[in-house]
Amino acid sequence: MRRGPLSRDRNGRPVSRPLQIATARFLVSTAYGDADSIRAERRTIRRGIQDLFGVSRRTAQVILDAADRGDPRGDEPAERVREAFGLDQRMRIMGLAWELAYTDGLLPIFERVLADRIGAMAGLRPHQAVGARSFANPPWI
């Protein structure tokens, strides 16, 4: 597999499985806004995990399944993301959060507000969270 932008932490150390799971938990906590798009959002998260960590589809699914077993509402995943990853890496995570917001092809105002909140949780300033849209690759573009 190729090396993904989150395959190493901000200090250049390989990212551990617990950190991968915490990052996936963070992403899971940003999804599921619309009951009709849950399946598509899960595919988006799995593909994002593959790309960001540079892992196989199977490994990405294992990480996502482990993330599902945790409590995504806790602040711990956001704290781990803020501490472990640098600005560019956190913006890439935010880019995936934007993809989740775009999953249903719409971007209602509440999803933009949620994206701002997610950016703050990831330790991004508002302009950085908006700038992270450039990392999003919605399937309909």
pLDDT at 97: 86
Token pair 């507000």: residue: 113
Euclidean distance between CA atoms 99 and 104, whole angstroms: 10
Q: Which two tokens stand for residue 2?
A: 């190729």
- The domain total for the chain is 1
Which parts of the chain fold into alpha helices (H)?
17-30, 38-53, 57-69, 76-84, 87-102, 109-121, 126-131
Per-residue pLDDT tens for 23-70? 999 888 877 655 667 788 889 899 999 999 999 999 999 999 999 887
Residue 11 lies in a domain: no
For 53, phi then psi, to 5°, come to -95, -10
Whether 6 maps to a domain, the answer reads: no
Lowest-pLDDT range, 14-23, 71-80, 90-99?
A: 71-80
How distant, in Å, are the alpha carbons of 2, 14, 83, 129 from that of 97? Answer: 22, 23, 18, 10
| 141 in a structural domain | no
Q: What's the domain range around 23?
A: 17-135
